[in-house]
Amino acid sequence: MDIEDVRRRLDDFTAERDWAKFHTPRNLALALVGEVGELAELLQWRTDAEVLEYARTPHGAEALADELADILTYLVELADAVGVDLGAAVHAKIDKNAAKYPVHLASGSNAKYTELRRDDGGEPGDDDG
C-alpha cells in the first residue's frame, strides 16, 4: 500500500462530502485520540496472549483492523493538514533513531537513548529520566 494513494483517496472522500472544513489540525488530533481510545478498549482487559488469540478470530481480526485503519486515516489526514509528507517523515525518523540507538549499545535493552551511555546501562525501561 502506498501512503500517497491512501492520502489521495481520503482527500477525494473528504472533498465529495464537503468535510474539508472540519479537517483542522486540532479536530483531527482529537479524532485520532478518539480512535486510539477505541483501540485501547479492545486491549484493556486482555493479556497479550489473549490479544493474539482474539486477533486470530474473524471478529477480532476485523475489529483490530478497523481500529488500526481508523488511526491511520486520521494520521494521514492530520499530516496532510499540517503539510507533512508522512512517508518522508517516517524514513527520516528511522534514520534519526538508528543514530540515537546504535546496535552495539541498544541491543536487547529498553533503556531510553539518553540512558544508553551510562556505564551500568541504566535500569531497563528507565524511560522516565
Q: Which of residues 24-83 bind its own copies (CB under 8 A)?
A: 24-27, 29-48, 50-52, 54-56, 60-61, 63-66, 68-73, 75, 78-79, 82-83
Type and span of the H or E element at 45: none
Q: Residue 81 in contact with residue 28, Cβ under 8 Å? A: yes
Compute how many other C-beta atoms are within 10 angstroms of the C-beta atom of residue 28: 21
Compute how many other C-beta atoms are within 10 angstroms of the C-beta atom of residue 57: 11
99 touches its own copies (CB under 8 A): no
Q: What values do phi and psi take at 4, rounded to 5?
A: -65, -35
Shortest separation between residue 119's beta carbon and its own copies, angstroms? 18
Q: Residue 27 in contact with residue 19, Cβ under 8 Å? A: no
114 touches its own copies (CB under 8 A): no
91 touches its own copies (CB under 8 A): yes
Shortest separation between residue 37's beta carbon and its own copies, angstroms? 1
> Among 11, 58, 84, 118, which residue interacts with its own copies (rule: CB under 8 A)?
84
Orientation of helix 25-43 relative to helix 48-55, angle to 10° = 100
> Among 58, 99, 107, 120, which residue interacts with its own copies (rule: CB under 8 A)?
107
> Among 8, 88, 100, 114, which residue interacts with its own copies (rule: CB under 8 A)?
88
Q: Of the two residues 89 and 118, which places its CB atom closer to its own copies in the complex?
A: 89
